A and B are shown apart, each in its own frame.
Chain A
């Protein structure tokens, strides 16, 4: 579900197209946008407190074969939530799981890893060594 939540809408569309699953499915819960209150911790490690909310969209899809897929994704994109729930349902089908992993999960994870790598490399290039100037004698 993590990879589906992080996938872009084009990634979900492309991956699901490639799966070519003749999917008859029904929407158990129409995509719905709501709020999740984000919590931090005092001092980063202490008791929780509420920082602010985020928009989240969720959906539930059921395949004709009975598997139920869920999605919870940041943002307000209802189509993305619907497709992420569908992908989650397909992933639960034993016959489809490997294909879903290959066509959807892996490309998304690869993109995220590459982005993460690039961001980390860019951040690391801004690492400084400060030399303190001693005051007084010497």
Chain B
């Protein structure tokens, strides 16, 4: 147990001054600006926005600078900042179908309407270190297609749905309120809306590992990347004082819909099932992992045995938040002196008793041998 301590102010001040000095690095090298972080370490900014659960590029970039590139520390800073702001309300549901597509691929259909748009991706690179970047050089100008008219990009799931081949979420507005983890603590069993909110702000590495575990056989669900899309989506907000919805601007989102193993019953014909991922910014690995874990967590809904960690919603959802996780793990380094003193007292007493018993045993043995 952690017990409050006093003192050490001077040492703490000096430690923070030293940290600020180390953060600056070699003073003969130009200081990095949040603009540079935003523009040139854009995917780190995306990750901090997603797991910080706050869309604000400039803030995330500054947090990364402040945290010396420690992304979980930066996420912590962003989460702390958001608690200082009032909540204006909830946006209208974002229409990812109307996304301004920067990237859109399907691993299920080769020739899908609208086509496969690779966009800015690491896919198909050779993963060789590019030493030219170290020297600094202007990249080539991006190629532009002549007919810039973006074709319609229907959802892959909606194409499958035309033949009734995939289960689809009910689209009618239900009167049920939408769960919000930032307002009410998580309880179990959790509905899918709460599970998705939890996963959307969950740690990328954790979700990746869980998703991987399902592929390796711990709750296998036979996935295809039905569709992955990334691009800008308009945000609309219902302003109470105006009485109508107003556009606020656009946010970048990554969406992934997995097409998973089918199921059918005596009454219902076989249909593919699906898992869904939606993440702030460009974060494809996370969106894919989220979709795989979302599908694994639907085991109960589909009457599947819950045997693997990724299917256990209490396990998955209780450990996904890296700010909570780091708080509990790292609190171990705070002073536990009083607690430890009592442990020390206990273990010394136990050892004393042990040796006393041993000594007594020896004496008895010797006496028996002598007799």
Contact = CB atoms under 8 A, between A and B. Distances in A.
Interface string B201-235: 10000000000000000000000000000000001
A126 B144 CA distance: 9
B31 interface: no
Contacts of A39: 90-94, 178
Contacts of B147: 124
B118 to A, nearest CB: 4
B66 interface: no
Nearest to A37: B90
A61 to B, nearest CB: 13
A54 B103 CA distance: 23
Interface string A1-19: 1100110000000000000
A66 interface: no
Interface in A116-130: 116-130
A73 interface: yes
A125 B91 contact: no
A38 B88 CA distance: 11
B56 interface: yes
A29 to B, nearest CB: 9
Of B90, B157, B158, most A-chain CB atoms within 10 Å:
B90
A48 B193 contact: yes
B248 A73 contact: yes
Contact of A41 (B93, B197, B242): B93
| Interface band, chain B | 35 or more
B196 A130 contact: no
B50 interface: yes
B91 A130 contact: no
B32 interface: no
Contacts of B201: 52
Contacts of B237: 36, 56, 72
A74 B252 CA distance: 12
Contact of B257 (A43, A56, A117): A43
Contacts of A34: 85-88
Contact of A36 (B89, B117, B171): B89
Interface string A25-55: 0000000111111111111111111111111
9 contacts: A37-B182, A39-B94, A43-B157, A51-B253, A54-B55, A76-B58, A121-B145, A123-B103, A128-B115
| 9 closest cross-chain pairs (CB), A and B | A46-B169, A124-B145, A74-B249, A121-B148, A49-B193, A54-B55, A121-B144, A2-B247, A125-B143
Interface of B: 49-50, 53-56, 58-59, 82, 85-94, 96-97, 100-103, 110, 115-119, 142-150, 155, 157-158, 168-171, 173-174, 176, 178-182, 192-194, 196-197, 200-201, 235, 237, 239, 241-242, 246-251, 253, 255, 257, 274, 276, 278-280
